[in-house]
Amino acid sequence: MSSYFTDLAQQYIDGEWRPGTGSWDIIDFNPYDDEKLASITIATVDEVDDAYRAAARAQKKWAETNPYARRAVFEKALRLIEEREGEIAEAIIAELGGTRVKAGFELHLAKEFLREAIQLSLRPEGKILPSPVDGKENRVYRVPVGVVGVISPFNFPFLLSIKSVAPALALGNAVVLKPHQNTPIVGGSLVAKIFEDAGLPGGLLNVVITDIAEIGDAFLEHPVPKVISFTGSDKVGRHVATVCASHFKRSVLELGGNSALVVLDDADLDYAVDAAVFSRYVHQGQVCMAANRVLVDRSVAEEFTEKFVAKVRTLKAGDPRDPETVIGPVINSSQADAISAAVEQALADGATALVHGTRTDNLVEPSVLTDLPANSPLLKQELFGPVALLGTFDGEEEAVRLVNDTPYGLSGAVHTADIERGVAFAKRIDTGMFHVNDGTVHDEPIVPFGGEKRSGIGRLNGDTMLDSFTTTKWISVQHGRSGFPF
């Protein structure tokens, strides 16, 4: 595992591993024990340009490559991940502070998305459409956009890099990937290494490890990429969308959430507790789909709360390398500061702490807050940490109003003994995804993934990848002679 952090601490541009030429280094730390994992000299605007130019040069030949031949690269990449699964899991634990359960979850999904990319190579289809003009044949081709820029986050960096990189490549594009500064290896150069070893021709996937303090908006504004796929916060996503629009680029935005898990009066409470605890505390709550809010019908709230609090108290916080650990560290000290500050502010505003976790460096123990005032800003924002907000409601109408009372609209869940009641409830919620009798954290390779409102624009997964990473081209053929008015 440690060799990843020494061998891959470089830029990967045009099929070559090379150092950046910036004047400072990104230091990659283990968030649990602050061990220095790697030091990477950052890429400058020149390296970003080199990466995009290399991608543009390589893409044309790749697009003309038989899709069955392209498919073989993804088959080999999948085998390599399977062979190296143990090493990759150790890297996820070290660089992200992810637990062993989380590492396994991320690797399982990464493999599933690669399997879908194998199929996606053969998915584009053209059409021949009728014309009102005699003798006219309208051909509609589906073609790659060209070059895609991908910006991946720190929470599921291996999965969420592959989730955009693999489909974009499978559909005949080239890619430049910029991983998050806190996860440059797992989210960036490790992905490049796997595809390099799988036989992907040089130049088709490039990785630039850098910071906006160095490159500004160069990654977004560069004339080569036609699509930017960004996963991250809505604040940064708004900026990405604005810059892309001003340069006539398409943006695919998978942004934050403020999801609610709703427990109706007829729910299986033990099962709902299990779903709610997982949905809030998986990967320390650093998941866009996490259940920030747990809303319970007042008639069952006392029993649910007692069971929920009891289960939360059993969650072991500590070293993510320990198989018994459920709560590892958050990604960095600024995240830990923000979580602690949010809890203290909520308490100052009148909330009650049913569980008040302590903080040691980046390790933030679980908290459960209730009795938040209706105007608490915490109820409207994304809380990226192990803090659950418990609330009550009287009947479905109030539940729908509370769930929708947020600027976000990513995921959510409802628990009820009546499935169709749950489906009817789900239809009234302004989200891109909603789950009946399950948790809020789900992602499947062929199901459209994305949000409404501030939770994003566009969808990923399955056939929606065609909309994201290809475009259509109309070529008409006139059989015989056309008539012209002059």
Q: What are the catalytic residues? A: 254, 288
Closest-CA residue to 97 (of 37, 42, 40, 41): 37
Closest-CA residue to 290 (of 386, 418, 168): 386
> Would you give the end-to-end CA distance of the chain in angstroms?
73
Q: What count of other Cβ atoms lies within 10 Å of the Cβ of residue 67?
A: 15
Helix H or strand E segment including 443: none
d(Cα 445, Cα 336) in Å, to the nearest integer? Answer: 32
Structure token digits, residue 267: 């729910």
Angle at 203 between CA 18 and CA 213, to 5 degrees: 55
Question: Strand 291-297 to strand 259-263: parallel, antiparallel, or no bridges (unpaired)?
Answer: parallel
Residue that is written with structure tokens 């790659």 in the block: 144
Structure token digits, residue 132: 């009102």
Structure token digits, residue 282: 């998986």
DSSP 217-230: THHHH-SS-SEEEE
Q: What count of other Cβ atoms lies within 10 Å of the Cβ of residue 270?
A: 12
Helix H or strand E segment including 353: strand 352-355
Pair 174, 148: CB distance under 8 Å: yes
- The set of residues, in sequence order, having a beta carbon less than 8 Å from that of 66 and lying 6+ positions away, is none
Angle at which helix 67-83 crosses helix 85-96, to 10 degrees, equals 70
d(Cα 252, Cα 150) in Å, to the nearest integer? Answer: 10
Helix H or strand E segment including 477: strand 470-478
d(Cα 147, Cα 137) in Å, to the nearest integer? Answer: 30
Q: What count of other Cβ atoms lies within 10 Å of the Cβ of residue 63?
A: 16
Structure token digits, residue 205: 């996937």
The SS3 of residue 278 is: helix
